[in-house]
Amino acid sequence: MVATSFFLAGLAYVSFALAAPVAEKRDDAVAFYDPVAGGGSWLNSVPNSGGGGEPLNVIISGLSSPGVLTIDGVVNYARSIGFSTECFGVHLGDPQTANLGDGNGWVKESILLREDYGDADFGTCLESLIGGNHFRVYRQNGPNGNSGALFLAASEEEDVKHGHTISPDGYNLGRDAIAAAANGRTSFKGVNYETTVERRANAMPAGTNGVNHGIAVDGTVVILTVRIV
Protein backbone atom coordinates (compact mmCIF):
# COMPACT_ATOMS: atom_id res chain seq x y z
CA MET A 1 0.00 0.00 0.00
CA VAL A 2 2.83 2.40 0.88
CA ALA A 3 4.61 1.76 -2.42
CA THR A 4 1.34 2.19 -4.31
CA SER A 5 0.67 5.49 -2.55
CA PHE A 6 4.12 6.81 -3.41
CA PHE A 7 3.66 5.74 -7.04
CA LEU A 8 0.28 7.48 -7.33
CA ALA A 9 1.62 10.63 -5.67
CA GLY A 10 4.59 10.67 -8.04
CA LEU A 11 2.31 10.15 -11.04
CA ALA A 12 0.10 13.03 -9.92
CA TYR A 13 3.16 15.29 -9.54
CA VAL A 14 4.42 14.45 -13.03
CA SER A 15 0.98 15.06 -14.52
CA PHE A 16 0.79 18.46 -12.80
CA ALA A 17 4.29 19.40 -13.93
CA LEU A 18 3.46 18.56 -17.54
CA ALA A 19 0.21 20.50 -17.42
CA ALA A 20 1.50 23.61 -15.64
CA PRO A 21 2.61 26.47 -17.87
CA VAL A 22 6.33 27.12 -17.72
CA ALA A 23 7.52 30.69 -18.22
CA GLU A 24 10.35 30.92 -20.69
CA LYS A 25 13.53 32.08 -19.01
CA ARG A 26 16.21 33.66 -21.14
CA ASP A 27 19.82 33.13 -20.09
CA ASP A 28 20.81 36.34 -21.90
CA ALA A 29 18.07 38.53 -20.40
CA VAL A 30 18.85 42.23 -20.08
CA ALA A 31 16.73 45.16 -18.96
CA PHE A 32 16.99 46.92 -22.34
CA TYR A 33 19.48 48.10 -24.94
CA ASP A 34 20.21 51.80 -25.40
CA PRO A 35 18.47 52.70 -28.68
CA VAL A 36 21.17 55.22 -29.63
CA ALA A 37 23.90 52.57 -29.41
CA GLY A 38 22.16 50.67 -32.21
CA GLY A 39 21.48 53.70 -34.39
CA GLY A 40 18.06 54.45 -32.93
CA SER A 41 16.68 57.33 -30.92
CA TRP A 42 15.14 58.18 -27.54
CA LEU A 43 12.53 60.18 -29.46
CA ASN A 44 9.89 58.62 -31.67
CA SER A 45 8.69 60.25 -34.88
CA VAL A 46 5.37 62.08 -35.06
CA PRO A 47 3.80 62.35 -38.55
CA ASN A 48 3.35 65.86 -39.92
CA SER A 49 5.25 67.42 -37.02
CA GLY A 50 8.14 68.79 -39.01
CA GLY A 51 10.54 66.21 -37.61
CA GLY A 52 9.56 66.35 -33.94
CA GLY A 53 9.22 63.32 -31.71
CA GLU A 54 7.93 62.26 -28.32
CA PRO A 55 10.30 60.87 -25.67
CA LEU A 56 10.44 57.15 -24.92
CA ASN A 57 10.39 57.97 -21.25
CA VAL A 58 9.19 54.72 -19.62
CA ILE A 59 10.58 51.21 -20.15
CA ILE A 60 9.05 47.95 -18.98
CA SER A 61 12.27 46.03 -18.44
CA GLY A 62 13.17 42.87 -20.32
CA LEU A 63 13.86 41.39 -16.87
CA SER A 64 10.13 41.48 -16.16
CA SER A 65 7.98 38.33 -16.15
CA PRO A 66 7.59 37.11 -19.76
CA GLY A 67 3.81 37.21 -19.40
CA VAL A 68 3.96 41.00 -19.13
CA LEU A 69 6.09 41.52 -22.25
CA THR A 70 3.45 40.61 -24.84
CA ILE A 71 0.74 42.88 -26.18
CA ASP A 72 -2.02 41.01 -24.33
CA GLY A 73 0.20 40.97 -21.27
CA VAL A 74 0.93 44.68 -21.26
CA VAL A 75 -2.75 45.49 -21.81
CA ASN A 76 -3.74 43.52 -18.72
CA TYR A 77 -0.90 45.10 -16.76
CA ALA A 78 -1.91 48.56 -17.97
CA ARG A 79 -5.44 47.94 -16.71
CA SER A 80 -4.01 47.17 -13.29
CA ILE A 81 -2.47 50.65 -13.14
CA GLY A 82 -5.41 52.61 -14.53
CA PHE A 83 -5.07 52.44 -18.33
CA SER A 84 -6.99 50.62 -21.03
CA THR A 85 -7.53 50.31 -24.77
CA GLU A 86 -9.00 53.17 -26.77
CA CYS A 87 -12.65 54.12 -26.67
CA PHE A 88 -14.56 51.46 -28.66
CA GLY A 89 -11.26 50.62 -30.37
CA VAL A 90 -11.29 53.87 -32.36
CA HIS A 91 -7.88 55.47 -32.92
CA LEU A 92 -7.63 59.02 -34.21
CA GLY A 93 -4.45 60.23 -35.87
CA ASP A 94 -1.65 58.44 -37.63
CA PRO A 95 0.48 55.92 -35.71
CA GLN A 96 3.82 57.20 -34.51
CA THR A 97 7.00 55.27 -35.26
CA ALA A 98 10.13 54.57 -33.22
CA ASN A 99 13.59 53.19 -33.88
CA LEU A 100 14.79 51.25 -30.84
CA GLY A 101 18.19 50.46 -32.32
CA ASP A 102 17.38 46.74 -32.47
CA GLY A 103 17.72 46.29 -36.22
CA ASN A 104 14.04 46.64 -37.02
CA GLY A 105 14.38 50.26 -38.12
CA TRP A 106 11.42 52.61 -37.69
CA VAL A 107 8.32 50.65 -36.67
CA LYS A 108 4.78 51.71 -35.80
CA GLU A 109 3.52 51.67 -32.25
CA SER A 110 2.14 48.29 -31.20
CA ILE A 111 -0.74 49.79 -29.24
CA LEU A 112 -1.87 53.01 -27.58
CA LEU A 113 -3.36 52.91 -24.08
CA ARG A 114 -5.22 55.69 -22.30
CA GLU A 115 -6.09 56.58 -18.73
CA ASP A 116 -9.38 54.88 -17.90
CA TYR A 117 -10.54 56.85 -14.83
CA GLY A 118 -11.38 53.66 -12.97
CA ASP A 119 -13.45 52.03 -15.71
CA ALA A 120 -11.46 49.60 -17.87
CA ASP A 121 -14.35 49.17 -20.32
CA PHE A 122 -15.46 52.73 -21.06
CA GLY A 123 -13.24 55.08 -19.08
CA THR A 124 -10.96 55.87 -22.00
CA CYS A 125 -13.93 57.51 -23.73
CA LEU A 126 -13.84 60.05 -20.92
CA GLU A 127 -10.10 60.54 -21.42
CA SER A 128 -10.75 61.25 -25.10
CA LEU A 129 -13.08 64.07 -24.02
CA ILE A 130 -11.41 65.64 -20.99
CA GLY A 131 -7.79 64.63 -21.57
CA GLY A 132 -5.42 62.78 -19.26
CA ASN A 133 -2.51 60.41 -19.48
CA HIS A 134 -1.72 58.00 -22.30
CA PHE A 135 1.19 56.03 -23.71
CA ARG A 136 2.30 54.31 -26.90
CA VAL A 137 4.05 50.92 -26.78
CA TYR A 138 7.04 49.77 -28.84
CA ARG A 139 8.75 46.36 -28.56
CA GLN A 140 12.53 46.03 -28.64
CA ASN A 141 12.76 42.63 -30.29
CA GLY A 142 14.89 43.04 -33.42
CA PRO A 143 17.85 40.87 -34.49
CA ASN A 144 20.45 43.33 -33.17
CA GLY A 145 18.91 43.94 -29.76
CA ASN A 146 16.23 41.50 -28.68
CA SER A 147 15.80 42.52 -25.06
CA GLY A 148 12.02 42.01 -25.17
CA ALA A 149 11.66 45.32 -23.32
CA LEU A 150 8.65 47.55 -23.98
CA PHE A 151 9.43 51.22 -24.58
CA LEU A 152 6.59 53.60 -23.74
CA ALA A 153 6.10 57.13 -25.00
CA ALA A 154 4.04 58.59 -22.16
CA SER A 155 2.44 62.03 -22.04
CA GLU A 156 -0.37 63.96 -20.45
CA GLU A 157 -2.70 65.59 -22.99
CA GLU A 158 -5.31 68.33 -23.03
CA ASP A 159 -9.02 67.87 -23.67
CA VAL A 160 -10.71 67.57 -27.05
CA LYS A 161 -11.39 71.34 -27.19
CA HIS A 162 -7.62 71.86 -27.24
CA GLY A 163 -7.11 69.21 -29.92
CA HIS A 164 -5.49 66.71 -27.53
CA THR A 165 -2.27 68.68 -27.61
CA ILE A 166 0.33 67.79 -24.99
CA SER A 167 -0.02 69.61 -21.67
CA PRO A 168 2.73 71.99 -20.53
CA ASP A 169 5.45 69.70 -19.09
CA GLY A 170 3.22 66.86 -20.27
CA TYR A 171 6.01 64.39 -21.07
CA ASN A 172 7.57 64.51 -17.62
CA LEU A 173 4.14 64.54 -15.95
CA GLY A 174 2.91 61.55 -17.96
CA ARG A 175 6.01 59.55 -17.09
CA ASP A 176 5.83 60.36 -13.39
CA ALA A 177 2.13 59.52 -13.16
CA ILE A 178 2.80 56.06 -14.59
CA ALA A 179 5.67 55.51 -12.15
CA ALA A 180 3.46 56.46 -9.21
CA ALA A 181 0.56 54.26 -10.34
CA ALA A 182 2.78 51.25 -11.05
CA ASN A 183 4.94 51.22 -7.93
CA GLY A 184 4.24 48.27 -5.63
CA ARG A 185 1.40 45.76 -5.94
CA THR A 186 -1.44 45.98 -8.46
CA SER A 187 -3.83 43.46 -9.99
CA PHE A 188 -6.39 42.96 -12.73
CA LYS A 189 -8.53 39.96 -13.74
CA GLY A 190 -6.88 37.73 -11.16
CA VAL A 191 -3.31 38.53 -12.22
CA ASN A 192 -1.19 40.09 -9.48
CA TYR A 193 1.83 42.26 -10.21
CA GLU A 194 4.76 43.54 -8.18
CA THR A 195 6.54 46.49 -9.80
CA THR A 196 9.82 48.09 -8.82
CA VAL A 197 10.56 51.55 -10.17
CA GLU A 198 13.98 52.91 -11.09
CA ARG A 199 14.54 56.49 -12.22
CA ARG A 200 17.57 56.79 -14.48
CA ALA A 201 18.65 60.42 -14.81
CA ASN A 202 20.31 61.67 -18.00
CA ALA A 203 19.37 58.52 -19.91
CA MET A 204 18.23 60.71 -22.81
CA PRO A 205 19.16 64.26 -23.79
CA ALA A 206 17.36 66.91 -21.75
CA GLY A 207 15.81 70.02 -23.25
CA THR A 208 13.61 70.75 -26.25
CA ASN A 209 15.85 69.77 -29.17
CA GLY A 210 13.81 67.57 -31.53
CA VAL A 211 10.94 67.22 -29.06
CA ASN A 212 7.44 67.57 -30.45
CA HIS A 213 5.68 70.85 -29.57
CA GLY A 214 8.97 72.18 -28.16
CA ILE A 215 8.08 70.90 -24.69
CA ALA A 216 11.19 70.39 -22.58
CA VAL A 217 12.07 66.99 -21.11
CA ASP A 218 14.37 66.51 -18.12
CA GLY A 219 16.27 63.52 -19.54
CA THR A 220 15.06 60.99 -16.97
CA VAL A 221 13.74 57.59 -18.00
CA VAL A 222 11.66 55.46 -15.62
CA ILE A 223 12.35 51.70 -15.72
CA LEU A 224 9.65 49.35 -14.47
CA THR A 225 10.52 45.77 -13.59
CA VAL A 226 7.23 43.90 -13.33
CA ARG A 227 6.87 40.47 -11.77
CA ILE A 228 3.72 38.38 -11.89
CA VAL A 229 3.28 37.09 -8.35
Q: What spatial distance separates the first Cα and last Cα of the chain, rounded to whole Å?
A: 38
Give the least confident one: 4-18, 82-96, 171-185. 4-18
* Residue 17 in domain: no
| 84 inside domain | yes
How far is 82 from 120, CA to CA, in rounded Å?
8
**Do strands 58-60 and 221-228 pair parallel, antiparallel, or not at all (unpaired)?**
parallel
Is residue 67 included in any domain, yes or no? yes
Q: How many domains does the chain have?
A: 1
pLDDT at 224: 98
Position 22 pLDDT exceeds 70: no
208, 214 Cβ separation under 8 angstroms: yes
Task: Assess if residue 103 is contained within a domain.
Answer: yes
As to burial, measured by CB atoms within 10 angstroms (0-12 exposed, 13-18 middle, 19+ buried), residue 14 is: exposed
Asked whether residue 16 is domain-assigned, the answer is no
Predicted local confidence at residue 89, as pLDDT: 66
9 is a domain residue: no
* pLDDT, tens only, 184-226: 999 999 999 999 999 999 999 999 999 999 999 999 999 999 9
| pTM of the predicted protein model | 0.87
Q: Which domain holds residue 104?
A: 26-228
- Supply the pLDDT for residue 128: 81
Query: Apex CA 180: angle with CA 183 and CA 141, to 5°?
Result: 65
Q: Has residue 14 been placed in a domain?
A: no
Average confidence (pLDDT) over 126-151: 95
Q: Kindly state the percentage of the chain with pLDDT values over 70.
A: 85
Asked whether residue 127 is domain-assigned, the answer is yes
Q: Is the pLDDT of residue 12 over 50?
A: no
Residue 92: pLDDT above 80?
A: no
Mean pLDDT of the chain: 88
Q: How do residues 46-72 score in pLDDT, each as one tens digit? A: 998 878 999 999 999 999 999 999 999
Decide if pLDDT at 4 tops 50: no
